[in-house]
Amino acid sequence: MGKKILIATLLVVILGAAAMVWYYQFREPPVEPEDPDITLRPVEEPDEQLDVTGLDPLQEYLERDPEEPDDPDALPDDQVITSRFIQDLAELIFRHYHPAREPGEEGSFTLSFKELNMHYATELTGLMHQEQEVLQAREEILGHLLQPEVIDLVVRRYGPELFDRLIHLAETKPREISTSQGVRERLLENRETVEMLQILARRLEHLAHVFSRTAREEPVLERMRQYLDTVEELNSVYFEYWQLDDDDERRSELASKIKQLIMQRENIRGRIADRVSTPEITEAGYDVLYEVQWIFRRVEKGGFSRDSIRAMAQAGEDLARMARENADDLGEE
């Protein structure tokens, strides 16, 4: 009987612990103090850093004559990226461009960096890898693609193909387009394709600015560390707050602590934005905090250098230039 009681007790303890873990991970924000942003948590990442040494730097490209002009068709294929990835990315960009409802207005582009990251973080569409588990496969892919030399090659090799496919979609694939007269299905007009490329170029330039400033400004990543620490502490205080029933004095203390931590969090958020943003980026409403957090994870958890981040910033500028050149060519037709 004593053994059965012991087993039952252990079972209750285990189930209780599991319930607490589940509650802590998937809880809803409290009714008071109200704070809808508290659900922000660091994105899932392995604790151990990725060893990015010894990966293939694509020597065929690196050993070429630096005076020889780039011919995308003559460049070596990347071992991770396939044509399916380029097609999928072009379709993703195409779907998120929305022409204006009325003549004279500007269309919009709704693909956020977070949505782009989440799309390829789970599906890995068109990306080759050896690992079977998704998270490890993602780290394998990033370990290869985030080498500065590879970033440069990928842009030169696949950038022109990406814009060719994007323009081909605009010319051949009808879209459901909202107008003041309702929804109608049609191809994009040439002026709308030009606008899509111009808006995309502007978005790429904004991303390049955030990546460049984050890599260059030393305090940015340290402030992101402080931000995440503050969010973690805030979550812990909230968790204790939710457990209290009758202790009004302690509840009041925790409510004050929560307000203090929220102010601290928002202060850090503002300092990060001030460092990496511009008035245009702020007006557009882009989530620069998420973008900086992504960079923080790559550097602090992934083991990548700031050179990789600078190379990504340069890639954004190069792709923006390609987008504008294609827009100019179409505008002359």
pLDDT at position 42 over 50: no
Q: Which of 104-108, 228-232, 245-249 has the lowest mean pLDDT?
A: 245-249
Average pLDDT for 162-172:
98
Tell me what pLDDT residue 103 has.
82
C-alpha closest to that of 214 among 288, 302, 303, 320: 288
Is 249 part of a structural domain of the chain?
yes
The answer to whether the CB of 35 falls within 8 A of the CB of 262 is yes
Is 41 part of a structural domain of the chain?
yes
CA distances from 327 to 108, 114, 167, 201, 238 (A): 16, 26, 10, 9, 50
Structural domain harbouring 52? 31-331
Per-residue pLDDT reduced to its tens digit, 115-164: 999 999 888 999 999 999 998 999 999 999 999 999 999 999 999 999 99
Give helix 148-172 / helix 83-95 axis angle, nearest 10°. 60
Q: Which strand (E) or helix (H) includes residue 44? A: none
Is 2 part of a structural domain of the chain?
no
Average pLDDT, the chain: 83
Is 99 part of a structural domain of the chain?
yes
Is 143 part of a structural domain of the chain?
yes
Is 15 part of a structural domain of the chain?
no
Reported as a pLDDT band with limits 50, 70 and 90, residue 91 is very high
Tell me what pLDDT residue 244 has.
85
> What is the model's pTM?
0.79
Query: Distance (Å, rounded) from C-alpha 207 to C-alpha 201?
Result: 10
Is 22 part of a structural domain of the chain?
no
Count of structural domains, the chain: 1
Is 12 part of a structural domain of the chain?
no
Query: Distance (Å, rounded) from C-alpha 24 to C-alpha 38?
Result: 13
% of the chain exceeding 70 in pLDDT? 78
